[in-house]
Every structure is written in C-alpha cells, then in structure tokens.
Copies of this chain bind each other. A is one copy, B any other.
Amino acid sequence: MAVTTSDFQADILKAIAQETRLNILELLRDGERCVCEIFPAIGQEQSNVSRHLNMMQKAGILTRRKDGLKIFYAVKHAEVLAIVDLATAILKRETGDRHDLLRTG
C-alpha cells in the first residue's frame, strides 16, 4: 500500500485528536510536567497516561527529559497548541451556529 504525505499528517493529527491527550496537552501548555503530576491532575490511571505520553513522544509532538526517577514531558512544537486553539475556535463558531439547527433540522 502506497504511503502518502497525508498518511504522516494523519499520524500527527491523530496524536492530538483524543480527549485524554488533549487534557494532557492543556496541562503542558504551562510547561513541562512529569507523569506523576499529570495523571492525578486529569484523573486517569498512571499506566494510561504513560502510554499516551509515550505515544505523543513517538509521534514527534512531545519531548522527553529524564531527571532522576521522574521523566518530564513537554510540547515540542508550538504548532500543536495552535492546532488545539483552532479546533476550539471552530467549536465555538459551530456551537454558536447550532442555535438554528433547532429550527432548520
């Protein structure tokens, strides 16, 4: 099967397009955090958060830094948060538009 550019684009976007990962990214907006800080903050299992962080790092959108026992993750590209913000903008406009959906169908 041929591998196109949109394939890799999809990988980047898929690494962002998930609720738990969006919550993590929102936390990382303020700077790097270790797993032990993140998983209580978002109310998820440690293993689950670890997997998501690993996944995003492998996808190339997070950096990883070791400090003793702890491992700190941070957002690697500003574009990632820009994408999140654009999604928020679309969402805002959409939920605004949706008032007439009650009438239009």
List the interface of chain A (C-beta within 8 A of B). Answer: 4-10, 12-14, 16-19, 22-23, 26, 60-61, 77, 79-80, 82-84, 86-91, 93-95, 97
Contact = CB atoms under 8 A, between A and B. Distances in A.
How many copies of this chain are found per oligomer? 2
Contacts of A93: 77
Nearest to A15: B17
A51 B92 CA distance: 25
Contact of A22 (B10, B23, B77): B10
Given A6-B23, A19-B7, A94-B60, A12 B80 contact: no
Contacts of A22: 6, 9-10, 13
Contacts of A90: 12, 60-61, 77, 79-80
